[in-house]
Amino acid sequence: MDSRRLSTEQVNRRRAQVQRQHDYLQRLCVRMMDLNWRTDDPLLKAAQKAYYAHEDLLRLAVPRRKPGGRLP
């Protein structure tokens, strides 16, 4: 199995799940910054790293369609 074999429905479900996690991580990072966490704090750095990793997942999870409507 690989990502090219996912149906449109499967891609959309995965994307929605990653989007929820991404939104949570964004709120977490903003809250930590609002509370003036040190920018070199390991937990803040880990939260930011997770946020950016989810950004990559979202970029890849956007359904890419070939002409004719099929996924590549």
Tens of pLDDT, residues 56-65? 888 887 655 5
21: nearest Cα among 71, 69, 57, 67: 57
pLDDT in tens, 9-59: 888 888 889 899 999 999 999 999 999 999 999 999 999 999 999 998 888
Q: What is the pLDDT of residue 62?
A: 66
Give me the domain span that covers residue 19. 7-61
| C-alpha torsion sign, points 11, 13, 19, 24 | negative
Binning pLDDT at 50, 70 and 90, where does residue 72 land? very low
Q: What is the CB neighbour count within 10 angstroms for residue 43?
A: 11
| Domain-embedded: residue 2 | no
Stated pTM of the model: 0.76
| Domain-embedded: residue 72 | no
Number of domains in the chain: 1
